[in-house]
Amino acid sequence: MGLFAAEHPETFSNWQSKHKNLINLSVDNEQQLLDLWLHAKASRIETSGFTEPDINNELTAVALAPHPDTYAITSTFDLALKEYDAMFALQSSG
């Protein structure tokens, strides 16, 4: 969140004081993440991209600001770690 806060201080401050929700979504590959990031930028959603120097500066995450269009462009993605829900449910019940 540090990069997003530095790049978009007013939006971050508003989020920090009023929203405080984070949703982690999953993509299939770096290209899908890059497409999402570019789509967000084209939709004028404030966003920050995070690259990983240890793996050739690949894009590994993006942060999107709360915005009416954010849900629309992310609605097809699964929640991150969703595949583990069933496993955790079985462990809790058994």
Q: For residues 70 and 80, what is the distance between their CA atoms, to the nearest angstrom?
A: 17
β 25-26/78-79 pair status: antiparallel
Question: CA distances (Å), 84 to each of 49, 57, 73, in order?
Answer: 26, 28, 24
| Residue 59 structural domain | 23-93
64 inside domain: yes
Percent of the chain clearing pLDDT 90 (strictly above)? 49
35 inside domain: yes
7 inside domain: no
16 inside domain: no
Number of domains in the chain: 1
User: For every residue of 32-77, which 3-state class applies, written as one string?
Assistant: HHHHHHHHHHHCCCCEEEEEEHHHCCEEEEEEECCCHHHHHHHCCC
87 inside domain: yes
Task: Determine the pLDDT at residue 48.
Answer: 93
Task: Determine the pLDDT at residue 60.
Answer: 93
8 inside domain: no
6 inside domain: no
11 inside domain: no
Instruction: Give per-residue pLDDT as tens, 3-45.
Output: 888 888 888 888 888 877 778 899 999 999 999 999 999 999 9
